[in-house]
Structure 1
Amino acid sequence: MDQFRSLLFTPATRPNRFERALTSGADAVCLDLEDAVAPQDKDRARDEAVRFLAARAKSPVKVGLRLNGRGTPWFDADLQAAARAEADFFMIPKASGAQEFAMLHRALGEDRPFWPLIETPEGLMRCWDIAGATAVAGVLFGAFDYSAEVGCDMAWEPLLFARSQLAAACARAGVQLLDAPPAAVGEPEVLTAETDRSRRLGFTGRACIHPDQVGPVNAIYTPAEAEVAHAHQVIAAFEAAAGGPVLMDGKLIELPVVRTAQRVLERAKGGQR
């Protein structure tokens, strides 16, 4: 499964930005039919996205499509377009339960993964089932919509409970977890601090809304050389002790520490693009 450190959203009404998005350094690009598109532009956005997906050259960057939500006037047309679109994955807004992904799995095929957005209290309540649903590769936290639904501030502390729940649910299901994109562009220090907080909480990557955000996000989710070297040492020491507890540099190395080291190496491998 492809690991996404960064995912760049691009309005599907702006085809002049599609190629730039692919060369931004993001691990994935998502053509957005939902929030970034005005109601009167939905048909045009859908056509532009399908046309680009059909004509794009082969690239290591995965390109997905964010549909409009179920219950909107545009969902049926989006679903029909998605069935023929050559997208690598589909983002599904306002996921509310695991059952909807069985339907999407049948409608869109068995070989393309889904990324549900958890952005309502109902979605958070059912996030454990959603993360483990059929064909779900990862989850995106929709912090903007969630805070509006709950009536809380778009700040770290009010959203910590939701982020922690999602981190646990996705870890249990063995799927990726992306944090919401930054609320502002042009604040690199805020971007770095927020992204590192999410990484330490258990998120595996972050969404972006501007190409300038991609580099800092990738850097935070790519382990430093010293961190990788230490992870190799931990695993080597554990293996030399035949899988039993062992002291290394005065610190106890046992299975949970080894699992953390393995995750570091997985992140490092994902960062080799």
Structure 2
Amino acid sequence: MRAFRSLLFVPGSRPDRFAKAVASGADAVCIDLEDAVAPKDKDAARRATLEFLTMAHDACAVGFRINALSTLEGFRDVIAFADSAAKPTFIMTPKTVSGGDLHRLRAALGERCPPLWPLVEGPDALPALADIAAAAAPSGGVMLGGVDYAAATGAKMGWDALYHIRAAIVAATAAAGCGAVDAPYLNAADNAGLEAETRRVRDLGFGGRACIHPAQVETINRLFSPTAAELSKAEKIAAAFAAAGGGVALLDGELVEKPVHDAAARALTAKRH
């Protein structure tokens, strides 16, 4: 599963913003029924979201974040979806602490269940990361809920403080063969900071990043897309590896082995999406 490069959140209580979010250029839009919606607005947001998801949206993937499955609102979200004609591309599950959370939801929804994207938001999920990623694979992925994780652990929101959970998510999702999306950069006015941190996120192994504002989409998409130079080198690596019959090759003095070829193949696959 290739992760979404950019995943833009929009409040479920703001249906006037749904179409604008879809047209933002983001790879995915997640309509939020959880934190972004006040308790008094939950029912109306749920109805508006499911109605919007009955329509086809070709510009990007469109899904929604339910309330935690440990809450009454979470049960209401699932039941309302099961009784609706909505066709979300994915469902995001907050505060996921085990793969069993996903297996139970998938069993309840049956064939109606789209790919699942669990959010890791607390230290209680850390021992179960491999289990969570395996349950999301192969069609879904795992996202870091950085704000909640920092609050639960007493950590700051800086790169160093959250490095351990980011690295753990990358390792678990790589082993499971599913996508990994990082938490959003919270200052929508600081594009330089967004770019600097997103480069580190990308280099660590994440395939994409969440956005809190449409203005962040272009930068994130660009940073998670291979450059022309990277694509050119990937094509040369693929050709050299093929010419060597799938064995070790030399390209401009550099050793090309299967792991190098596989990384090049991923870049070429990203180009086609």
User: TM-score if structure 1 supplies the norm length?
Assistant: 0.95
Letter in 2 for 1:6: S
Residues of 2 paired with 1:268 and 1:176: CA distance? 17
Residues of 1 paired with 2:89 and 2:3: CA distance? 13
Residues of 2 paired with 1:160 and 1:125: CA distance? 16
| TM-superposed deviation, 1:134 | 5.6
Q: Can you list the C-alpha shifts for 1:4-60, whole angstroms capped at 9, x where unaligned?
A: 111110001111101100110011111100011111111111111011112x34414
- Contact residue 33 and residue 67 of structure 2 kept, 8 A: yes
Residues of 1 paired with 2:246 and 2:58: CA distance? 40
Q: Show structure 1 runs of 4+ deviating over 3 A.
A: none
The sequence identity of aligned pairs, in percent, is 46
- Counterpart of 1:70 in structure 2 is 69
Residues of 2 paired with 1:144 and 1:119: CA distance? 8
| TM-superposed deviation, 1:73 | 2.9
**Which residue among 162, 166, 173 is the counterpart of 1:163?**
166
- Contact residue 27 and residue 61 of structure 2 kept, 8 A: yes
| TM-superposed deviation, 1:3 | 4.4
Query: SS of the residue aligned with 2:58?
Result: coil
- Counterpart of 2:101 in structure 1 is 100
- Counterpart of 2:247 in structure 1 is 244
2:24 corresponds to 1:19: no
- Counterpart of 2:127 in structure 1 is 125
Range with bigger deviation, 101-110 or 14-23 = 101-110
What number of residue pairs does the alignment pair up? 269
- Contact residue 2 and residue 207 of structure 2 kept, 8 A: no
Letter in 1 for 2:106: H
Residues of 1 paired with 2:261 and 2:243: CA distance? 13
The 5 A counterparts of 1:222-261 are 222-261=225-264
Letter in 2 for 1:91: M
Residues of 2 paired with 1:267 and 1:139: CA distance? 19
2:143 corresponds to 1:144: no
**Which residue among 114, 117, 140 is the counterpart of 2:116?**
114
Range with bigger deviation, 253-262 or 17-26 = 253-262
Structure 1, unmatched stretches of 5+, are none
| TM-superposed deviation, 1:93 | 0.2
- Counterpart of 1:82 in structure 2 is 81
Query: SS of the residue aligned with 1:185?
Result: coil
- Counterpart of 2:7 in structure 1 is 7
Letter in 1 for 2:120: I
Q: Can you list the C-alpha shifts for 1:93-148, whole angstroms capped at 9, x where unaligned?
A: 01010111111112223351100001111112211110001666111101110010
Residues of 1 paired with 2:186 and 2:13: CA distance? 21
Residues of 2 paired with 1:116 and 1:269: CA distance? 26
Query: SS of the residue aligned with 2:72?
Result: coil
Residues of 1 paired with 2:236 and 2:24: CA distance? 34
Letter in 2 for 1:34: E
**Which residue among 200, 207, 212 is the counterpart of 1:209?**
212
- Contact residue 2 and residue 178 of structure 2 kept, 8 A: no
| TM-superposed deviation, 1:77 | 0.7
Letter in 2 for 1:46: R
Query: SS of the residue aligned with 2:237?
Result: helix
- Contact residue 221 and residue 267 of structure 1 kept, 8 A: no
| TM-superposed deviation, 1:2 | 6.4
Query: SS of the residue aligned with 2:219?
Result: helix
Structure 2, unmatched stretches of 5+, are none
- Counterpart of 1:35 in structure 2 is 35
Residues of 2 paired with 1:185 and 1:109: CA distance? 38
Query: SS of the residue aligned with 2:266?
Result: helix
Letter in 2 for 1:67: I
Alignment RMSD, CA only?
1.4
Letter in 1 for 2:81: A
The 5 A counterparts of 1:48-59 are 48-54=48-54, 56-59=55-58
